[in-house]
Structure 1
Amino acid sequence: MSENKTQKMLLDIVFVTIGCMLLAFAITSILKPNGLMTGGITGTSIILEQLLKINYSYLYYGLSLLVLLLAFLVFGKREAYKIITLSILFPILLILFEMNPSPLIENDTFLATIYYGIIAGSGCGLILKRGFSMGGTDTIAKVIHKKILPTMSMSQVILGVDTLIIITSGILFDRTVALYAILTQIVFIKSLDTVMFGLGSKTVKIEIITSAHEEVVAYIINEIRRGISLYDIKGGYTNETKRKIVSICTPREAILIKMYISRIDENAFVDLLPVMTVWGKGLGFQSIVETEGA
């Protein structure tokens, strides 16, 4: 194993472990003691704990392994390999933190909502920044997208799954819990994006040069549901003519594209640029008609 690969592996271990510890701490020391709710497998586990009277950390472990199996059956071992580390490591840490919980905030639901979003979002951001997948809502959304709702984008499916979990919590618990859960998700996503991309724009332009451009184009159009532009370019060093793919998307979608490319072309060149705003037709873009008077 080369020195660079060894260094990358060590950094992966450090960042993923710290990310998992932050997330486990946020759940056991802030979310649970204050009766809060969130989306994903965490929220599902807490809901099932109320119904089945089984500790949510064990339910989380079972659901993680179930999602891992689902990923293997639907997408194959390559997709399952991406989430196997988190499917095993994080539930173990969650169980360990649950054995001796130390509440950070008590009797202040609003403050707990903010700090859970910050700490959990930061932990999740560290994990995703290293190219790993939590194996939760994202994987479930991929299965739904592929088998049931292929016409919807991944972001829409993920939002729909988390919304369904939050609505269910509002029915089983009370409306206030669901309303706080929405605030939690907003702070969580903001913190996650800040860790991954800093405080810059939330729309990005991704530029890709790859020998597998046909597969990447098909993935962006059919899976991510974004438009693309193609340019013929000539390398100054190699003097070779290649195709450059350009797309405007969200940071989360850019990470999904990057992870896909890394599996099919390790020599690909990808750069990401912040975009202040986009005027035109497209998911999340501002209509150019609305800006005419500006």
Structure 2
Amino acid sequence: MKNKSNKKHMKWTKKQIYSFIAKVVFMTIGSILYSIGLEIFLIPNNVIDGGIVGISIITNHFIKLPLGILTFILNVPFFVFGYKQIGKSFALSTIFSVICYSIGVNFFNPIPGITKDILLASVFGGIIVGFGIGLIIRNGGSTDGSEVIAIIIDKKVSFSVGQIVMFFNFFILLFAGFIFGWDRAMYSLIAYFIAVKVIDIIVEGIDESKAIMIISERHEDISEEIMNRLGRGLTLLDGKGAYKGMETNVIYLVVSRLEIAEVKKIVNEHDEDALVTIGPVDVFGNKYKKKGMH
């Protein structure tokens, strides 16, 4: 009986199968884009990426081993070391991504760079690399062993994962300055920051969500105006002032980044003394959709 129940439990639904296939497809596309950004734009102009890939590019300058093989060799120990720390699913997704872009780097290596203009190469290389990495991260993977180490270190120090990765990359780009020249290191920094911004857009979405809380004595008027003008649903939370002990309602809603200005305008029209807090938030579920979008 136990074996039968386990087999049933292990069966995937059609939705899970389609979701898995979609993740594999998008991670493959992301890995290809990452490879193109590196081999067609950045590497031919001695502009490097951060992390293990950056270390691989620098190492490749001294050891003429194919970059794809070198990247894979340097990455694998980190994932094996951090397997228990980062989880099976994340580790397997990341290893798959590393294998894909390692193959892609070797495939695109013989193709000459599209441009010799270093600024153009840095900008467009950063965009393409960021787009590729963003697709991989959005679908549950990663591209670099340094991120795994950062996740492990993060549990023991007060710095965030992003700060630790930035710290690693600072020294990698600093070292690249001695090897390829300081102008190339600065262009690498440009490409890196562009890639980071594009990654944020792909992972978070252009229509980034923000959570807003509004504390006002005129919460009824403000709530009605927001629903009428923005078509957004909202929630009224019970609140009580600690100083005066007055009970009131706190308006809570989630809007897109582009709608924040309109919410501020509505609040100011009804109550200039209202307290408004705005912060980033991850959202999923149909209740976030505007009225009429269901």
1:120 aligns with 2:129: yes
Match of 1:101 among 111, 116, 119: 111
Aligned to 2:44, the other structure's residue is in SS state: coil
TM-score by length of 2: 0.64
Distance 2:192 2:131 in 1: 13
Alignment of 1:19 onto 2:30: yes
Superimposed CA distance per residue, residues 173-214 of structure 1 (whole angstroms, 9 cap, x where no aligned partner): 21111111111111111211222233345x8559xxxxxxxx
* 1:193 correspondence with 2:200: yes
Q: Offset at 1:272?
A: 9.4
TM-score by length of 1: 0.64
Among 70, 88, 104, the residue aligned to 1:59: 70
Q: Do 1:45 and 1:60's aligned partners in 2 also have CA atoms closer than 8 Å?
A: yes
1:219 alignment counterpart: none
Sort the Cα spacing of 1:120 and 1:76 in 2 relative to 1 into closer, same or farther, 3 A. Answer: closer
SS of equivalent to 1:33: helix
- Structure 2 residue aligned with 1:29: 40
Partner of 1:80: 91
Partners in 2 of 1:204 and 1:139 — Cα distance? Answer: 28
Q: Show the counterpart of 2:244.
A: none
Question: Judging changes above 3 Å, is the alpha-carbon distance between structure 1 residues 42 and 10 closer, same or farther for their aligned structure 2 residues?
Answer: same
How much has 1:101 moved relative to structure 2? 1.8
Q: Distance in 1 between matches of 2:211 and 2:27?
A: 27
In 2: Cα distance, 1:26 partner to 1:49 partner: 17
Is the counterpart of residue 111 in structure 1 residue 120 in structure 2? Answer: yes
Give the aligned residue type for 1:191: V
The two structures, once aligned, show a CA RMSD in angstroms of 3.0
For 2:27, the aligned partner's letter is: V
* Amino acid paired to 1:163: F
8 Å CA contact 1:86–1:135 kept in 2: the answer is no
Q: Distance in 2 between matches of 1:190 and 1:21?
A: 19
Task: Give the counterpart letter for 2:160 in structure 1.
Answer: S
Indicate how the Cα distance of structure 1 residues 59 and 272 shifts in structure 2: closer, same or farther if over 3 A, else same: farther
- Counterpart CA distance in 1 for 2:186 and 2:133 is 22
State whether structure 2 residue 171 is matched by structure 1 residue 161: no
d(CA) in 2 for partners of 1:172, 1:86: 28
- Are residues 204 and 142 of structure 1, via their aligned partners in 2, closer, same or farther at CA, if it must alter by over 3 Å? farther
Unaligned runs of 5+ residues in structure 2 are: 1-11, 213-236, 239-253, 262-275, 280-294
Runs of 4+ in structure 1 over 4 Å off: 73-79, 203-206, 271-277
Structure 1 residues 214-245: Cα deviation after superposition (integer angstroms, max 9, x where no partner):
xxxxxxxxxxxxxxxxxx99xxxxxxxxxxxx
Aligned mates of 1:124, 1:77 — CA distance in 2: 20
The percentage of counterpart residues that share the same residue type is: 27
CA distance in 2, matches of 1:17, 1:28: 16
From 179, 190, 210, the equivalent of 2:186 is: 179
Q: Indicate if the aligned counterparts of 2:67 and 2:102 stay in contact, CA closer than 8 A.
A: no
The yes-or-no answer on 1:143 pairing with 2:152 is yes
Q: Is the 8 A contact 1:86 1:133 kept in 2?
A: yes
C-alpha contact 1:71 1:79 (8 A) present in aligned 2 = no
State whether residues 50 and 173 of structure 2, in contact with CA within 8 Å, keep that contact through their aligned partners in structure 1: yes
Computing the radius of gyration from Cα coordinates, the structure with the larger value is 2
CA contact (8 A) 1:68 1:135 kept: no
Which residue of the other structure, out of 130, 134, 140, is the alignment partner of 1:131? 140
Once residues 210 and 51 of structure 2 are traced to their aligned partners in structure 1, the CA distance between those partners, rounded to angstroms, is: 25
Q: How many residues align?
A: 213
SS at 1:123 equivalent: helix
Q: For residues 111 and 68 of structure 1, do their structure 2 counterparts lie closer, same or farther at Cα, with a shift above 3 Å needed?
A: same
Counterpart among 2, 9, 28 of residue 20 in structure 2: 9
Query: For 1:32, what is the secondary structure of its paired residue?
Result: helix
User: Given that residues 137 and 162 in structure 1 are in contact (C-alpha distance below 8 angstroms), is that contact kept between their aligned partners in structure 2?
Assistant: no
Asked if structure 2 preserves the Cα contact closer than 8 Å seen for 1:67 and 1:140, the reply is yes
Distance 2:113 2:87 in 1: 40
Shift of the 80–27 alpha-carbon distance from structure 1 to 2, 3 Å rule, reads same
